[in-house]
Amino acid sequence: MRYRAGSIIRFATPVRAAAQRFAFLALLFLSAGMIILGRADAQFAERVRTTITDGFAPVLDALSRPAATVRDMIDYVHQLAALRVENDRLREENERLRGWQQIARDLEAESNSLRSMLNYVPPSSRQFVSARVISDSSTAYVRSVIVNVGDDQGVRKGQAAVDGSGLAGRVTEVGHRSARVLLLTDINSRIPIIIESTRYPAILMGDNSERPKLRFLPVEASPQPGDRIVTSGHGGIFPPGLPVGVVATVATGEVRILPYVNFDRLEYLRLVDFGTDAPLPSVTARTPARP
């Protein structure tokens, strides 16, 4: 068997070499014949090329499919990588936009607060300082706030604290860079007021509730819900005409006032110097006279 296999190999080697040599020559002659035939009969040559192409088309299609599939897969991977990078970029941009959105909302709220302050314009001869509320010291027993301006900015005791709605209170303590404002709802607050429509005077007394009450109001005053309340200017504490609030409820022996200022959302105040530092009047000392 070993001898027979060796004989076959020795016989096949020259045959294979000859076949390769003749195959090359055959392809060479076939190419030359196709060139000559193409020049002699172009239509026949075209039909031959078309026939050969049609015969090899299924083979070429089968061979091209794996290559196209691999190319598509490579493109898909590249697209996924690009999408991931784009997604990361968009996520970071979204986070930045959220931050700017929050900043814009804060600025809008601050702008609205400052714009509301402009509703009240003190007389041109009066000096004022705009202040931001930095601490709300209101408790069940005290109604006051701390603002971020003080003696260094020209703030002093007795100045009126107003916002865009009306009177909020009065400066009672002043430091170099901060001040305390006693709100008109505090139990120690006493403000001379008048009912704007009837001109009857009274004292607005805080009792640490959201709605301070009127005391020393003449019996014949007969206030009605919705009546506007303003400062009277008596005692030199505040100038006349500062808006305070409206009559909310009228019960037997008690009249409650709804202040214009929303103390739950107090952010900015304007501290106005009306040229007086008179002490708060004592409600037991006297009863304001009827004008």
- Judged against a pLDDT cut of 80, whether residue 198 lies above it is answered with yes
Q: How far is CA 118 from the centre of its chain?
A: 24
Q: Are 38 and 50 in contact (CB under 8 A)?
A: no
The arithmetic mean of pLDDT across residues 16-34, rounded, is: 69
* pLDDT higher than threshold 80 for residue 5: no
- Most confident stretch, 38-42, 105-109, 146-150: 146-150
Highest averaged pLDDT of the listed ranges 64-73, 237-246, 274-283: 237-246
Among 50-59, 134-143, 149-158, whose mean pLDDT is lowest?
A: 50-59
The enclosing H or E element of 251 equals strand 243-251
Contacts of 19 (CB under 8 A, 6+ apart): none
> CA 276 to CA 257: how far, in whole Å?
26
CATH number of 127-291: 2.40.10.340
* Token pair belonging to 132: 């931001």
CB distance 191 to 203 below 8 Å: yes
- Report whether pLDDT(72) > 60: yes
Q: Where are the domains of the chain?
A: 127-291
- Give the tokens for residue 191: 């403000």
pLDDT of residue 106: 67
Average pLDDT over residues 220-231: 92
At 236-266, the pLDDT tens digits run 778 888 999 999 999 887 999 999 999 988 8
What is the average pLDDT across 95-100? 80
**Would you give the distance in Å from CA 218 to the centre of its chain?**
51
- At residue 140, does pLDDT exceed 50? yes
- Using CA atoms, how far apart are residues 76 and 159, in angstroms rounded to an integer? 73
**Per-residue pLDDT at 137 exceeds 90:** no
pLDDT of residue 141: 72
